[in-house]
Structures are given as structure tokens and as C-alpha cells.
Amino acid sequence: MDVLLLNADAQPVSFLPLSAISWKDAIVYMWQDKCVVLEWYDDWTVHSEKWETKVPAVIMLKEMMKSKKNTRFSKTNVFLRDNFICQYCDEKLTRSTATLDHVLPQCFGGKTSWENVATSCGPCNHNKGNNKKIVPKVMPRKPTYYELVRNRREISWNVKHDSWNTYLQ
């Protein structure tokens, strides 16, 4: 199970990906007195020979951790930038139906970069093929970290504990 890691301002350290750490790492933070436990797993206790504790569900660091604000290029982040919408036909996609399309095909020297890759559905990607003349309705660009976070917040989270929802809004 994972533990949601919050910064000293009660915001997740990272949204991309979500700052969740292992329960073992959370216990280490507790032992080193680097965090405050905000929520616990009610039905889960761990112990050693001389010590016993419930497992935390949400912890908040006592000191601010600088979060990274760069936008790493990845398939998931391209889908987030485009809100999981095909940039050719405007169809809403899921993670399993979304594909990446190179606006300038790789066979013509197109690079795999923010400015040349767009979210596409399978049929549009297949129909476009190596055609340079078919372009997306909105040309791709590099998003800011905050744009990706805003788009990520609009998608439901796969939370490990109900209390996480309080901190992810």
C-alpha cells in the first residue's frame, strides 16, 4: 500500500506523478520525526519487537521539499496535455485507446518531441499514415507544468485511501 506524501503546505509534493511513497518509507519518515501523520489506515498495524504503530495513509512533511516544475516528455503527459482527446476528430479517448501521432512523420525526419507529437485515436492515426498534409486541429506545443497539473486534476484519481481525496482537490 502507498502513503500520500504532502509538503509542509498540505499540497502533494508532486502531481506528475502523484507523490505516493511506500508504507515502509513513511514509517522511516515517522521514525526520523520528519513528518506529521494526518490520516491512518484503520485496519493495518505493523510492529517490531519493541515498537508498534498503525500504518499512515497521509503524511505531511515538517519542512518544505522543493518540487520539480519541469515538464518531462512522456506518453502520459502528451495525453494529459491534449486532455485524452484525439487532435484530429475530437473523440474522447481512454488510456488504452489513445495513441501518439507524429505530425511530421518520422520517415520525413519528424522528431519525437512536444512540438511534433499529438494524441490520436487509432483510426485517425491509421488514416493519416505518412501523410504530411493532414495536421491536427490544434498544433502541439510544450505545456507548462501547471497546465499538466490542472488537466490531471480534472481526471479521477486512483486513490489508495478515501482520505486522499481531501488533499487532491
Per-residue model confidence as pLDDT tens digits over 55-113: 999 999 999 988 777 889 999 999 999 999 999 999 999 999 999 999 999 999 999 99
Residues 64 and 80 occupy one common structural domain: no
- Provide the residue range defining the domain that includes 135: 75-143
State how beta strands 52-61 and 2-6 pair.
Answer: parallel
Residues 7 and 27 occupy one common structural domain: yes
Residues 30 and 81 occupy one common structural domain: no
**Would 149 be classed as within a structural domain?**
no
- The CATH number given to whatever domain includes residue 116 is 1.10.30.50
Q: How far is CA 92 from CA 87, 95, 137, 139, in A?
A: 10, 10, 14, 18
**Would 40 be classed as within a structural domain?**
yes
Residues 9 and 62 occupy one common structural domain: yes
Q: How far is CA 151 from CA 54, 86, 92, in A?
A: 34, 15, 14
- From first CA to last CA, the distance across the chain in angstroms is 21
The number of CA neighbours under 13 Å toward the Cβ of 1 is 20
Tell me: pLDDT of 14 over 80: yes
Question: 41-56 pLDDT, tens per residue?
Answer: 988 899 888 888 899 9
The string of DSSP letters for 23-49 reads HHHHHHHHHTT-EEEEEEEEEEEEE-S
Tell me: pLDDT of 169 over 80: no
Residues 51 and 15 occupy one common structural domain: yes
**Would 148 be classed as within a structural domain?**
no
Residues 46 and 79 occupy one common structural domain: no
Total domains in the fold of the chain: 2
